[in-house]
Structure 1
């Protein structure tokens, strides 16, 4: 909502020296979101005056039409002589009044004006268009003023070119601020000044001889006011002051009747619609659409109507989408001038509609037809139903004043009964909510400034005004008092946290995992949890893959991504691809977040009341209706894991790094992982490890290199490696105590062993056998070499391990270390068929 300061001053007598920025600060303190304060005409400098075209000479021989003009600018040029100006516009004639900028002036830009030689003549100034003056984007022709203005009149003041405009982002609960009336009320309260309400007009009562209106759906339309104006001058144009106010609000002037309806909507907040009375066939009807009905709206589009659409109709059928846009069949006609007689024809009789429609119905219709009109924007946020009569009267008065029309005596006002909404509030509720003391008098005064009627002492009976449908319970009223008193005046106090509470075991584990991965060189990212079938297709998931069973959103942000993720990989790989596309080729990223797994039989969530805290049973029912949301962690690597440099070549990220990342996570969770080969999409079938909790056989995730087809589909580097782990499944046995390594004061004994096994035997099985056979003296085991070749035989491989032995209470002898090593080798031979290399 744009608010010109000059217009705002008509309703609130602001101090003369108050600037737009000061007004904005006051409104922000009152809770409005003022985004910008635009300075109109800040760099404009005169002389800029009204001129009368005395003569026009058409210049030929140039690439475009050029006119050499003499213009009467009065005494503005200091001589009183006609001003010589060269101009390319062709929409003016001799005798027209135009806007002239003289040498020495500066137009918005800034664009200084000086006399110059052009097209063989001297051009001492310029005849201006609307865009050149910062009045709008219209550059098709220069501005032609009404004939009554005297040459030499200051056009800066005439066209109201210097002003300040506040741009306010109106939140959905403050629909009343989509009008000058609503913003003026907030400004009056903020400055402590009286309000001149533009809706306080003398309106004649309804009578039986107004234009006939039939409302078949009183739920969709609970009020309909109709007024008729006849005898309009079809040649009448919107005056400059009205056009300028519309332009400052970024509304394009169209014709007098349309401009007036737009003006009143912006002024009072009540959308209006004007019908050409001679094009309306019989009584106006308000009803829902019927099957197969169509309507051509004012934008020229033919629309298929839905049974939920609320319509304005006459005997011929639909003539408008109620509260959204009118129909083309009854629109106000543009004036047409007969070239021979000079007579002007057009609309001479107008029906003004001022109605109140159901916000939900209007919002659904506007969304269904993709018609976010200014009227719909206001209706769906809540329009004051009591403003309809005043708005219609205001439009009638302006039509009569400007176009010489006569308002017919008939007044149609159909209104459904509205129960009075009364809210009971304790006078000290705002005090208790804000933690400060306002007092009953302040509470009563502030609520009255909002427009409420307040009765009572310690317990107040408050009747909200008709323009505030958002005030429904005591907390809403408390918020109004607090915001008008100033959020800055609410005391700052630290919340009192009950002792003995802190992070849960799961939260501590999640933090340890994040810190461990960051310490291992990974960068944390956060991605949106939305995806579509295209993400699963890129990962190569089969049609029956469990990860394709998703929770669908009813109203997704993106129609191509309507589901909640079941895996972190699509978002993580998308982040990888974007960073690589921007030149970051060596990457190691991780994400730790929840995924969503739908229940086999989805449950319907109950709708708890909003006036109290839900009961334990209601909360349990809400939790039961939610999908499962396990917490996962995933990593993705590409490029060099260790950088190249003068010290030598680096190392490329591989499946081994992805598996090591899983081990980092497991160590942070206090769990030991085991691995075995697997074939799971989207991993490479020969470079994929299944991750298990050691000793339980519980599968918690997978790690390895992506399948080449996935790499190609997602435009990723070759050998991209990923890992995904279910953190909840990893810690399913409860929190484990994570202890730092013990430092022994006794020396370590290292024994190496090389075993030859079949190529199909996993190294993890050999390591497990060695670990079990070595017993308690084994401190650590590490695979440091894998060898294949003629020396070990076809179909064989040699695995070399370094075994570290240490006792906690003594120094091991060579015999004790050798015995432990021999026991480890014996167990490996029995379990895996290993043969000691060199034996």
Structure 2
């Protein structure tokens, strides 16, 4: 909201200078972005009149003007196209100083002497208009200082209002705020109700009352659209950032700035029948005032007559019904539009107007009658004409409701950390235009029609704090009795898991929770993912059922940027649709690719393999102090290499083994689709199973010697070693301490299709030395179990 300080002070005049007013508004939540003079620094410029204008003898585009300043006549050479006899304009005398410290001196232009300069608005720092010299009204007093004549010792405020403060998008709203903040009386201009001089009217039909519950129209006949807009109105518009066009448009813009209610005028002769406020029809088109032709969507509200759309409601008028220099009769319209009905509509058509800016945020739904009378009064003053009666169409049940709001006194004190006197609170709210009723422990507050932002108790508390002054509120630290949350000792925190992976060279990644449907099918073809109702794009249109698509895409992204060695992990949710609803399950996933070690003089550049990723995962499993409760089992996964994939199993309290994750090499076809340069290995495990640990228990060291036996058994080459190790632990008795695989051999001496496994078995008793007979018995039991379960043979 840009406005003139002098215009504001016509309504309310606090005992503050410009800097004080700027600071006060900003502290009250109405942040002033900029405060600058209404004109550049200049002196010696007066009102002059061109007595005579003749062609320059030596230049086609110049004129030699005789200019009077009321005291004497001066010869001035001017190149402005609008310089003409009888024009009153800004005349910079010799010795005048223009913005930029430009001093006016006698000069010769093409051998003709020039005694001064006729100035444009741009040359005086008034605006960017430099199409010609300034044109002043005929009644301007010759020789009067231009700064005094135009009252240019003014400041322009540009206030950056938050979207909820639409009530301040006018001089009236700003004056109301300044009056409240300074306890100063607001003196608005006296508005006259204009009676009808003629009976001419037009029928108004509301076909979309939810979007437009109130519409007023008034016929004014015999207007002189060629009349000159008063200089005071032009200046107020200019200082608010609006260019003067013609008196009808200027008046509607002026009333919008003054009261906050947008208006529009139609050329009555170009209307066919009555006014209809309706939604656009299919394939309907409209050419706007700026010449743009729009194809309207069916959810767009339009103002129409009986044959065609006339305007985009609350945004911009149409070219076919706009006023022209030939216009004699107009229909002045003013309406209330529901903010939700217009929200985003201007942006849909690539537009943003002063009207749409206000209507989208909310306009006072009781302001229309006042705006109509004010605009009529000004139009008759400037253009003349005969007004007809005001025709009003209104659907009361669709107008906004303003329910009363309760403000509890204790809640106010609690949030502001200060006890304000009841009288002061009531005074603040009353000055804001709210009706306050004291009910003992609380106030019942009736909200005015122009405050769209007040509907809750906290809104009222904010208003009290804002007007009382944020800088006057005490500084108090919040106090609370907080208890430390208990943390089970057996619980492994996510921070511990992250730290372990970071220590092993990983970097944490954060990827989107929504992915491309085709990647969801690649990594989890058996699950139909949840589709987003309003996706960012088709490549991000379903919720992920695995973390692996995001990590593999991140790997591809890194490799394309010359990062050959990549180690990433991510913790996050996957989203699984079920019959009971959407299940959100936390997972931890990791990925490695490239060389095993960073490049150095002692590294041979070996690439990572399955056992690197498995070792990293086992480091995580070791954190929960329950090594015997985990197993790896060969398995198949649609996105992983068939021969290098294992299922991760966790033993439950009932002894059953539950699959909780996967580890393996990325499938060659997946790697090809992603254009990966190196083989990648991944793991993905349920976070809950990783965090469920066991409390370590003390166990004294035995003073007695260990007994070790080594076995070499021949089994099928596809036999999983983990099953043999588990069977050895089951059959080795309670004193078996450790089972180690220390050699795997295939070749000479071992039949084709077989492999030799060398196992080291270690026993130790806590209170005595074990005998050979006891150890041999356990070894025999293990060998028998191997033979029966796995068809294993002792290697000779």
TM-score above 0.5: yes
Q: Is the 8 A contact 2:662 2:685 kept in 1?
A: yes
Instruction: State the Cα deviation string for residues 398-429 of structure 1 (Å, max 9, x = none).
Output: 4445x533361522344444677434444444
2:213 alignment partner, SS class? strand
Q: Is the 8 A contact 1:359 1:382 kept in 2?
A: yes
For the structure 1 residues 206 and 242, does the alpha-carbon distance in structure 2 shift closer, same or farther, using more than 3 Å as the test? closer
- 1: CA distance, partners of 2:614 / 2:27: 55
Instruction: State the Cα deviation string for residues 535-558 of structure 1 (Å, max 9, x = none).
Output: 23246528x9244420433x4555
- 2: CA distance, partners of 1:786 / 1:42: 90
- 2: CA distance, partners of 1:252 / 1:779: 92
For the structure 1 residues 295 and 764, does the alpha-carbon distance in structure 2 shift closer, same or farther, using more than 3 Å as the test? farther
2:720 matched residue in structure 1 = 762
- 2: CA distance, partners of 1:11 / 1:749: 102
1:341 matched residue in structure 2 = none
Instruction: State the Cα deviation string for residues 490-536 of structure 1 (Å, max 9, x = none).
Output: 653435346475569999644443444344443334444334xxx23
Q: CA deviation at 1:466?
A: 0.7
After superposition, residues 269-280 of structure 1 pair within 5 angstroms as 269-280=260-271
For the structure 1 residues 220 and 753, does the alpha-carbon distance in structure 2 shift closer, same or farther, using more than 3 Å as the test? same
How many residue pairs are counted as aligned between the two chains?
A: 771
Q: CA deviation at 1:320?
A: 2.6
After superposition, residues 289-328 of structure 1 pair within 5 angstroms as 289=280, 294-298=285-289, 300-306=292-298, 309-328=300-319
1:529 matched residue in structure 2 = 513
After superposition, residues 310-459 of structure 1 pair within 5 angstroms as 310-333=301-324, 345-363=325-343, 373-401=353-381, 403-406=382-385, 408-417=387-396, 421-458=403-440, 459=442
1:568 matched residue in structure 2 = 547
1:469 matched residue in structure 2 = 452
- 2: CA distance, partners of 1:675 / 1:4: 77
For the structure 1 residues 426 and 755, does the alpha-carbon distance in structure 2 shift closer, same or farther, using more than 3 Å as the test? same
1:597 equivalent to 2:576? Answer yes
2:314 alignment partner, SS class? coil
1:273 alignment partner, SS class? strand
- 2: CA distance, partners of 1:103 / 1:830: 118
Instruction: State the Cα deviation string for residues 284-316 of structure 1 (Å, max 9, x = none).
Output: 23344556655444453343442x544322232
Q: CA deviation at 1:168?
A: 1.8
2:597 matched residue in structure 1 = 642
Aligned match of 2:212 in 218, 221, 228?
A: 221
- 1: CA distance, partners of 2:722 / 2:113: 91
Q: Is the 8 A contact 1:774 1:821 kept in 2?
A: yes
Gaps of at least 5 residues in structure 2 are none
After superposition, residues 499-510 of structure 1 pair within 5 angstroms as 499=483, 501-502=485-486, 509-510=493-494
1:604 matched residue in structure 2 = none
- 2: CA distance, partners of 1:724 / 1:193: 68
For the structure 1 residues 688 and 162, does the alpha-carbon distance in structure 2 shift closer, same or farther, using more than 3 Å as the test? farther
Q: CA deviation at 1:270?
A: 1.9
After superposition, residues 677-692 of structure 1 pair within 5 angstroms as 677-692=634-649
- 1: CA distance, partners of 2:749 / 2:143: 109
Q: Is the 8 A contact 1:356 1:385 kept in 2?
A: yes
After superposition, residues 490-569 of structure 1 pair within 5 angstroms as 492-497=476-481, 499=483, 501-502=485-486, 509-531=493-515, 535-538=516-519, 541=522, 545-553=525-533, 555-556=534-535, 561-569=540-548
For the structure 1 residues 424 and 803, does the alpha-carbon distance in structure 2 shift closer, same or farther, using more than 3 Å as the test? same
Q: CA deviation at 1:59?
A: 9.9
Q: CA deviation at 1:362?
A: 2.8
Q: Is the 8 A contact 1:641 1:653 kept in 2?
A: yes
1:339 matched residue in structure 2 = none
- 2: CA distance, partners of 1:506 / 1:103: 90
Q: Is the 8 A contact 1:661 1:723 kept in 2?
A: no
Q: Is the 8 A contact 2:93 2:104 kept in 1?
A: no
1:142 equivalent to 2:131? Answer yes
After superposition, residues 731-770 of structure 1 pair within 5 angstroms as 735-739=692-696, 757-770=715-728
For the structure 1 residues 166 and 325, does the alpha-carbon distance in structure 2 shift closer, same or farther, using more than 3 Å as the test? closer
1:337 matched residue in structure 2 = none
- 1: CA distance, partners of 2:237 / 2:224: 21
Q: CA deviation at 1:750?
A: 8.4
For the structure 1 residues 361 and 769, does the alpha-carbon distance in structure 2 shift closer, same or farther, using more than 3 Å as the test? same
2:650 matched residue in structure 1 = 693
| Worse-superposed segment, 450-459 or 3-12 | 3-12
1:541 alignment partner, SS class? helix
Q: CA deviation at 1:383?
A: 1.6
1:442 alignment partner, SS class? helix
| Worse-superposed segment, 153-162 or 558-567 | 153-162
For the structure 1 residues 438 and 279, does the alpha-carbon distance in structure 2 shift closer, same or farther, using more than 3 Å as the test? same
1:636 alignment partner, SS class? strand
Q: Is the 8 A contact 1:659 1:689 kept in 2?
A: no
Q: Is the 8 A contact 1:4 1:166 kept in 2?
A: no
Q: CA deviation at 1:465?
A: 0.6
Q: Is the 8 A contact 2:282 2:296 kept in 1?
A: no
- 1: CA distance, partners of 2:641 / 2:620: 22
Q: Is the 8 A contact 1:423 1:461 kept in 2?
A: yes
For the structure 1 residues 422 and 702, does the alpha-carbon distance in structure 2 shift closer, same or farther, using more than 3 Å as the test? same
2:248 alignment partner, SS class? helix
Q: CA deviation at 1:386?
A: 1.4
2:277 alignment partner, SS class? strand
For the structure 1 residues 16 and 420, does the alpha-carbon distance in structure 2 shift closer, same or farther, using more than 3 Å as the test? closer
- 2: CA distance, partners of 1:784 / 1:160: 96
Q: Is the 8 A contact 2:666 2:679 kept in 1?
A: yes
Instruction: State the Cα deviation string for residues 156-204 of structure 1 (Å, max 9, x = none).
Output: 9969698554452523x43324444434434443444444557x73434
For the structure 1 residues 317 and 670, does the alpha-carbon distance in structure 2 shift closer, same or farther, using more than 3 Å as the test? farther
For the structure 1 residues 45 and 31, does the alpha-carbon distance in structure 2 shift closer, same or farther, using more than 3 Å as the test? closer
Normalising by structure 2, we get a TM-score of 0.78
| Worse-superposed segment, 98-107 or 512-521 | 98-107
Q: Is the 8 A contact 1:294 1:305 kept in 2?
A: no
Normalising by structure 1, we get a TM-score of 0.74
Q: CA deviation at 1:445?
A: 1.6
- 2: CA distance, partners of 1:101 / 1:257: 36
1:628 alignment partner, SS class? strand
Give the structure with higher Rg (CA). Answer: 2
Q: CA deviation at 1:824?
A: 6.2
Q: Is the 8 A contact 2:211 2:301 kept in 1?
A: yes
For the structure 1 residues 594 and 70, does the alpha-carbon distance in structure 2 shift closer, same or farther, using more than 3 Å as the test? farther
- 2: CA distance, partners of 1:42 / 1:204: 34
Instruction: State the Cα deviation string for residues 548-571 of structure 1 (Å, max 9, x = none).
Output: 420433x45557634433333344
For the structure 1 residues 52 and 205, does the alpha-carbon distance in structure 2 shift closer, same or farther, using more than 3 Å as the test? closer
For the structure 1 residues 760 and 311, does the alpha-carbon distance in structure 2 shift closer, same or farther, using more than 3 Å as the test? same
- 2: CA distance, partners of 1:770 / 1:123: 116
CA RMSD of aligned residues (A): 5.3
For the structure 1 residues 827 and 286, does the alpha-carbon distance in structure 2 shift closer, same or farther, using more than 3 Å as the test? same
